[in-house]
A and B are shown apart, each in its own frame.
Chain A
């Protein structure tokens, strides 16, 4: 293995690890605007990672995926969510996340779990893809954790977006994955975003809030 190869592996790992790190940042943001900035950063790191994968895999198609990630996920979606927050007047809202320390500990445990699960399974896989997939799984799990620990519907959407980013990372890390899959993953996020956005406005029209707890009490459910 040449030195250049080693460097390209290291950069790939650094970017994927950076994505996990940004996921952790997302866990403790209790202000919605800050959360959206982190989401933009998350998608930006993802697009860098995808672009690097395109470079080392010699797959020009992946540049398109990186472009989509940058354009849609890093700029368009956070901007749109930001406008939504301002129109709904939520930008000053502070939501209680639950104990930050506890959530961070849970996140660390999730990363450990995904490494423990993925590394033995993928012994025979390409080493780049192997660690990429392990890290991607931790991004997915932390995204899910974000969704579970949030009360506000918009921050749940943000958690969902970061979860999708993790799936995207896994898809690009695997060599030879058809481009169609990557692009459709990227677009599915966009469509999900549109649908969720429409729903959020409908919900707000009806209930004057997007706090999931208030919505549930209107439905007659238990907290």
Chain B
């Protein structure tokens, strides 16, 4: 606990130095190096929190006579581990990646403060500290999003992010106000002790979903995420996608699982429905996106959906008294959050390396990078395989565990759950399959084939620090896939604390097999799958070489499917997505294509145009914006009244309120 508190203070203290050292060419090294070491401290503190008893600490900072209440329990510990892990990776990557940044001072001063704020959110034990840390996290990340504010679109992204962050902070403020109740106990202990009635609990669930969900990227509150995450410098994008969304999930878990007390089953239904929607919509967007970083941001939305499906299941099972299922679902959700931190950071590192090497994240200008950037390509491939849910990597295990939790109880009596769980299972399966297609497309278009632009043809492999960060995370993805029991057993105390049950101990098994419920039902052994894949690949290659003919023949040159020497004839990113866009997009996104074919004799080029509408923008945000402007225009006249009329307005309002009071009695 003291380690964590000192680390956070040190990170906050490091921030001003960032502004100072930014003038020197190597000024980034002490800041990112310091952040790396301090993140290791956070990681260590998180591990002690996972293993040890709950610790409390009151710092004499903050509000006078109240101070700052901190608490390190298993839940905080787990998310502190994620923060430390993601932060350490991003710092390591940043040492090399930011070598030629034009405005290092715009990033260096805020980066350590952003890390510190995220760690502080996780440790906060009273509403004031939590909100303070939450808002600092929003503000510092906003400053980082605006680091390259002159690039097209970034200013707008920052603005939308700021609006959504304000909205999220407001929703959380209301949440804590409701939880504190009329007595006004703003420490989390007081909130735990009080049990709000049903209506208040329902409102708290909604405001917590809005507050934490808009930070995490839950549909329909995700709109800022694909704009803001790619706008930030890549190591910050990795932190925002990999860690900040997890901190938001922590906020949701802390409020709904911990502070709100035992819930109702329909709460689970709401979360399940939103989770399923988020997973499918997120991955569909990702599939059609042509900017690499934005694709990754949409994929973050998808993965947040998967985590929320697990959380919704846990809520539903816990409310119906099925503790073991709740423990399994929560473990699956947390494990997926852990995995997502690993592979999404890795993928963003890869995207950053590509962006730095080619100057473009547009898939249609990339291609063939595997020849000149083999290390990056290898690490990115590992990340793609992990996020697509391929065994023996880690993404498979957590999605498989979520499915196991869904299949546990098909016979629940509540109609809502009966309805939503199979739907969500289908949504999860669909999302997993589409994610695989999405990352085949991302990797295939960017790294395989021939370069689609001059810049892509001239790339050079990225620097050693970035490669080290990517390989480290690729190894961690593999390790968490091969020996998931090691992580699952660490999550055990978290699930125990929140649901009263956890999965049986996994590392006891001699062959490291994962058994969610009972060996008779299902089990998974990553090592075995890995061995099988390795052996079968080895056998196949051996067989091919052994039985293949060694005779050399001469024949006509096979053109590999590219009769035209121009690289534009290759499969394009838009072309790859077209079948899926036609299947899903026509309904969800009202997408359409118009072909403009010149008549014979006309020698202008034929054109194909795509239209894609985002239903969330069209049906929710744009009407909201138009309504706000309409009201503002109507209210504009109120700005130019006489003093007497303002007094009159006050007077009339007072009279109306008093009348209402009279009538209400």
Residues of A within 8 A of B (CB): 110, 113-114, 116-117, 120-121, 141, 144-145, 147-148, 150-151, 156, 212-213, 216, 220-223
Contact = CB atoms under 8 A, between A and B. Distances in A.
A149 to B, nearest CB: 8
7 contacts: A113-B655, A113-B659, A145-B651, A148-B647, A212-B642, A216-B643, A221-B642
Interface in B639-655: 640-644, 647-648, 650-651, 654-655
A221 B645 CA distance: 11
Contacts of B648: 148
Given A113-B658, A120-B665, A222-B642, 11 more contacts: A121-B661, A121-B665, A141-B654, A144-B647, A144-B650, A145-B651, A147-B647, A147-B651, A156-B647, A220-B640, A223-B642
A113 B644 contact: no
B376 to A, nearest CB: 63
Q: Most B CB atoms within 10 A — which of A117, A156, A220, A223?
A: A117
A223 B644 CA distance: 9
A119 to B, nearest CB: 10
Contacts of A147: 644, 647, 651
Contacts of B661: 117, 121
Nearest to B637: A222
A154 to B, nearest CB: 13
B121 to A, nearest CB: 40
Contacts of B643: 156, 212, 216
B641 A117 contact: no
B520 interface: no
Contacts of B665: 120-121
Interface string B260-296: 0000000000000000000000000000000000000
Given A144-B650, A144-B651, A148-B647, A221 B658 contact: no
A117 B658 contact: yes
A124 B598 CA distance: 88
Contact of A222 (B640, B647, B650, B651): B640
B594 interface: no
B662 A117 contact: yes
A221 B640 contact: yes
A98 to B, nearest CB: 11
Interface in B620-664: 640-644, 647-648, 650-651, 654-655, 658-659, 661-662
B644 A148 contact: yes
Contacts of A114: 658
A133 B636 CA distance: 38
Given A144-B651, A148-B651, A213 B658 contact: no
Nearest to B652: A148
Contacts of A148: 644, 647-648, 651
B642 A213 contact: yes
A141 B643 CA distance: 17
Contacts of A116: 662
**Residue among A114, A148, A150, A212 with max Cβ neighbours from chain B (10 Å):** A148
B399 to A, nearest CB: 59
B642 A216 contact: yes
A153 B654 CA distance: 22
A220 B661 CA distance: 38
Contact of B644 (A110, A120, A141, A151): A151
B258 to A, nearest CB: 39
Given A113-B655, A141-B654, A144-B650, A212 B644 contact: yes
A156 B650 CA distance: 14
A151 B642 CA distance: 10
Contacts of B644: 147-148, 150-151, 156, 212
A148 B655 CA distance: 13
Nearest to A114: B658
Given A120-B665, A144-B647, A148-B648, A222 B658 contact: no
Interface in B367-401: none
Contacts of A141: 654-655
A199 B640 CA distance: 20
Contacts of A144: 647, 650-651, 654
Contacts of B642: 212-213, 216, 221-223
A142 to B, nearest CB: 11
B411 to A, nearest CB: 55
A31 B368 CA distance: 91
Contacts of B651: 144-145, 147-148
A76 B399 CA distance: 80
Contacts of A145: 651
A140 B642 CA distance: 21
A1 B662 CA distance: 31
Contacts of B641: 221-222
A194 to B, nearest CB: 19
A213 B651 CA distance: 19
A56 to B, nearest CB: 29
B471 to A, nearest CB: 68
A204 to B, nearest CB: 15
